[in-house]
Amino acid sequence: MSLYTNNTALPPGRLPKLPSLPKNSPTASSIPQHQTGHPKETKAMSFFRITLRRSAIGLPERTQGVLAALGLRRRMQTVFHPVEPQFAGMIFKVKELVTVHEVDRALTKAEVKAERTPDRGFYVEKAVPRM
């Protein structure tokens, strides 16, 4: 028995035509964006901080292609991408090779390098005048 009206069987993957809305009814385009509660307008932009921890040598070309699409070339390289579904999918494909953190803002290359640079191990308490 068919679930569609008039007992007409439709091919798989084909949906019946639905009646259109009357012209006077409110549509999504007539509702102001601030009333829709779309999360992109209300939430500040956040980023994935992705660091390549394991090399892709010996892995399939598709996996290496995903890393290239993310912009990861070397081990311990860090890139930032906005939190979006396409980046989440790419991260999921290489989850064994990378570490991921969600951060509020993308850091510059200089900030990432300064973050990784260890302390000198000493500090100058008082400078001695030179002779």
Q: Which CATH number belongs to the domain containing residue 61 in this structure? A: 3.30.1390.20
Q: Determine the 3-state secondary structure of 67 from DSSP.
A: helix
pTM of the entire predicted model? 0.59
In tens, the pLDDT along 54-99 reads: 999 999 999 999 999 999 999 999 999 999 999 999 999 999 999 9
In a domain, 98, yes or no: yes
d(CA 18, CA 4): 11
Q: Copy the structure tokens of residue 81.
A: 């991408």
Report the amino acid identity of residue 96: E
Give the per-residue pLDDT at 116: 86
76: containing domain: 44-116
Count of structural domains within the chain: 1
* Residue found under tokens 């570490």: 99
